[in-house]
Structure 1
Amino acid sequence: MSVLYDMYSPTLFGIVLQIVKIEETAEDILQEAFIKIWNSFDKYDTSKGRLFTWMINICRNQAIDTIRSKQHRVGNKTQDITANERAFFSADALKPEHIGVREMVDNLSPEQKMVIDLMYFKGLTQSEIAEEFNIPLGTVKTRARSAVKVLSSFFKGRA
Structure 2
Amino acid sequence: MLLERAFLDGRPESMRALYDRYAPLVFTIAMRSLASVPDAEDVTQQVFVAAWRGRVGFDPSRAPLQAWLIGITRNAVADAHARRAREGRATDAARTGATDHIEDGSAQVVDQVLVAEAIDELGEPQRAIIRMAFFDELTHVEIADRVGLPLGTVKSHIRRSLGRLRTRLEVADVAS
Q: Same-fold call, TM > 0.5?
A: no
TM-score range, shorter chain: 0.3 to 0.5
So what's the TM-score if we normalise by structure 2?
Answer: 0.40
Structure number with greater CO (CA < 8 Å, separation at least 6) is 1
So what's the TM-score if we normalise by structure 1?
Answer: 0.44
Structure with bigger gyration radius: 2
